[in-house]
Each structure stands twice: as structure tokens, then as C-alpha cells.
Amino acid sequence: MISPQEKGALEAGWYVDRKIYTSDEIVQKEKERIFYKTWQFACLTSEIKNPGDYFSLKIIDQPIIIIRGNDNKLRAFYNACTHRGAVLNNRPCGNEKVFQCIYHAWTFNLKGDLIGVPYEKAYGPDFDKKKLALVPVRVDTFHDLVFITLNPNAPSLIEYLGEVAPHLAKYVQGIEVIGRNSWTYEGNWKLWHENFRDNYHPAFTHRGFQDSIPHYAQRGGNWGFEPGHSMLQWIYGNHDGESFFKGMQRYSNIEFPKGDKIICEDPTPSEILAVFPNLDFQPGQQRDLGGGKMGTRDGFIQTAYPLGPNKARIDLVVYSSTDDDPETRQAALENKAGYIGSWGKTSADDTEAMARCQIGLHSLGTQFTPFARGIAPGKGGSTEEGIDGRDEYSLREYYRVYKQYLDREEPVAAAAE
């Protein structure tokens, strides 16, 4: 237990009170003060590229629909009929000329205007369809990514992305979705997001990594980017071929021919970019295949949502380059399926760790969780020696901003102009 004097450290995110993982009251606050207030990743532009294309999603309990209009503009609305509230369209995506409610057949065009009301005369001469248009929410794109926010007062998307924007921009131009997967686990949603800002655990939780490429996370960094975002980097390069094959053999049970060696000299860091509060972006490394050919720029995007304090849903999107051929896409999908998603080995390890944490976080024995790794000043350690991928700068930046949102009292939500 930390002393009362040390409790000031809670302000800076060095320690957090464990009730943020277990309390019903906190998860309700998170919904209203974080999820209703921040920009949320929705889909890729390639999923709604033609007039009439739509994509629907839920921000916790708020059904949203994003529609591309005949003018090619993207618009987003609460996906709720303005008559009695029926969800207007309950399919995940598709193409429509108009949206007609199944209940009393009120009909809306692609701009959200109410254009058809059966037996309208009974409402009298003052009935104004304009006042009953679908209620808009803000939508914006960052290159190929589409985000929405329920908060009319949120900063612009580019301002919100802040310091992570130039890093993200490198990866999100010319990509499209090749697979999706969602799953739930018995643990708080923040544990999953924390886990993708944490390079301290893989050597132990995902033992195969450590066996194959010992101490790889040491060669990297962990930066907190304002406001609340992060970049985690590590370098697999320059590992010893023999220990790699030994590790792979233990991990896969595949016998590698003796004498085979690889020395990987690639110094390019691998990265995970995280966007506050719940988005992780893990691009694959683009490889030079020789002969002027470059490999795919595949990767995956994950969002974590609370289903109460003790349960979370993860939505996974796997993408690859728009110019990849079908074989390359298939290979990218199979590669991801091997380690990520509800079927992946790495995700299975992490899910077990999350479930165990959630049980222990209810323990009365310990009140606080430390995020104190890496003590050099700055956003990721101020000296070369101080930089280590296992540091926790980004987690402290996360909880600094998390606290700001949670402490802020504002109206819950309102429609965008």
C-alpha cells in the first residue's frame, strides 16, 4: 500500500486506484465522460466508398450509422428513427438508396432528411418533417480512417490526434479491410488497451518471443504522446540465428534442419501506435522482397469497449494494401490469424492474463497499481540509456488524460450542428 504522501503520484498516473477497473459507477462515468466525448474509430473509407454505402456501429449503447451521400460526402447520424426510436438499419454495412424504418415506414434519404411519412395528413397542417430529420453526429477522416464523435464541442480530429498524427499518417494511406473479428473476455476494457502499450509482459506472457529473440523489447522505446496517445517501438534485428530456431522449434514443434542460421540485420523498429482512449494500431513491417518488389503493408486495428467493469469487447480489423494481390492478402490474413484475434495464440495468452488480473484487481489486499517503470524525465526517457521499450511513459500519459476526462463534468451529449 502506498503512503498518503505518495498519493500525489495518482495525479500524474504513476499509481492508479484499482477501483477504476472494478466499479460500476466508474464504468458509467467512462461511458458518459470518455466514450461520448472522444473521437472514436469507426471504419476505413474503402468500406463506404460509393454513394449509398453505409457502415453501422455502436459506441457502447449508442447506435450510429455513417452514410456516403450522392454528393460523395460522409455523414453520420444516431441510428434511431425519430418516430418511436427503432434502429433504422441493423445490418453492419451495405448500400441503400433510402433508409426506411421497419415499424411505420418513415423514410429518410442519404442526407438524413425525413422524406416519407405514411398517412401524413393525420398529423395536422403544422407537421414539419424538417424537424424530424435523423440527428447528426460529427464524422471526419484521417487519410483512410473514419472517426466519429458524439461530442459537438470536441476539438477537430487532427487536433485530437495531436502528436500521434504524423506517425499514424505513414501507415493509413492506401489500405483496405481484409478481415474483421470481435470477441469478449472477462476483464476490464482498459486492461486490453494497456496491454498494447506494454512491452514489459511479452517476454513472459508470450514466452515464444523471448525464447526466439531474447531481450528484444529492451531495444526500443515507449513514448507518451499528447493528449493521451502513445508509440511503442522495438527492434527484432541482429538476433542470433541459432537461438531463434531453437525458440521457434519449442514454440511450433516444427523440426528445423540443423545448421540453418539466420542473422537478421533489419534495424527498422516495429511499432504499436495507441490513440486515446481505446484504439491500438499495429502495422506490420513492409519488407523489401528484392527485385524492386516490396511486401504488403498489412496490419491490424483494435478497439476495446466496456461491457460493464468486468467484461470487454474487442473489435479487430485486419487490413492490407489496396494494391495487394489475392495471394498476398490471404497470406497476410493467415499470418494475423496465427497470433491475433479470438483465434490467435498471442491474444489467447493476453486474454488469460487479463482474466487473471481482473480477479486479482478485486482483492481487498492492494489498493493501487503502479505504472512507474522508466524514471528519466521526458516523454520516453531523456537519455539514450534511459530509453527502454519496457518503460511506462505512455501508460502514465494515458492515465494523466484519463483522469482529466473523468473529472470533467459536462452535459452528457448533444447533436452536432
The site for ligand FES (CB under 6 A) is made up of 81, 83-84, 86, 101, 103-106
**Is position 280 an interface residue for Fe ion (rule: CB under 5 A)?**
no
- Closest distance of CB 36 from ligand FES, Å: 24
Using the rule CB under 5 A, give the single segment among 51-59, 68-76, 219-227, 349-357 that binds Fe ion.
349-357
Contacts of 27 (CB under 8 A, 6+ apart): 306, 308, 309
**Is position 391 an interface residue for Fe ion (rule: CB under 5 A)?**
no
Kindly list the strands in the beta sheet with 145-149, ordered across the sheet, starting from the edge strand earlier in the chain: 40-44, 145-149, 136-142, 74-78, 62-68, 53-59, 93-95
Nearer to ligand FES, 81 or 361 (CB): 81
Return the SS3 of 314: strand
How far apart (Å, rounded) are the C-alpha atoms in residues 395 and 223? Answer: 9
- Closest distance of CB 132 from ligand FES, Å: 10
Supply 104's cell numbers: 411505420
Which of Fe ion, ligand FES, none does residue 91 bind to, with CB < 5 to 8 Å depending on kind? none
Which of ligand FES, Fe ion, none does residue 177 bind to, with CB < 5 to 8 Å depending on kind? none
Using the rule CB under 5 A, give the single segment among 131-139, 141-149, 233-241, 346-354 that binds Fe ion.
346-354
Q: Contact 221/233 with Cβ under 8 angstroms?
A: yes
- Closest distance of CB 117 from ligand FES, Å: 8
Q: Contact 101/118 with Cβ under 8 angstroms?
A: no
Amino acid at 147: F
- Closest distance of CB 129 from ligand FES, Å: 13
Nearer to ligand FES, 120 or 260 (CB): 120
- Closest distance of CB 65 from ligand FES, Å: 14
- Closest distance of CB 250 from ligand FES, Å: 59
Contacts of 108 (CB under 8 A, 6+ apart): 88, 98, 99, 100, 114, 115, 133, 134
Closest residue to Fe ion, based on beta-carbon distance: 350
Which of Fe ion, ligand FES, none does residue 262 bind to, with CB < 5 to 8 Å depending on kind? none
Nearer to ligand FES, 83 or 201 (CB): 83
Amino acid at 46: S
Amino acid at 97: K
**Is position 194 an interface residue for Fe ion (rule: CB under 5 A)?**
no
Nearer to ligand FES, 81 or 168 (CB): 81
Q: Which residues on adjacent β-strands are paired with residue 41?
A: 147
Q: Contact 217/344 with Cβ under 8 angstroms?
A: no
Other CB atoms within 10 A of residue 234 CB: 23
- Closest distance of CB 206 from Fe ion, Å: 6
- Give Cα 391 to chain centroid, integer Å: 21
> 288-290 and 293-294: which strand pairing?
antiparallel
Query: Is the four-CA dihedral 80, 314, 391, 26 of positive or negative sign?
Result: positive
Which of Fe ion, ligand FES, none does residue 350 bind to, with CB < 5 to 8 Å depending on kind? Fe ion
Nearer to ligand FES, 89 or 394 (CB): 89
**Is position 350 an interface residue for Fe ion (rule: CB under 5 A)?**
yes
- The contact set with Fe ion (CB under 5 A) reads 350
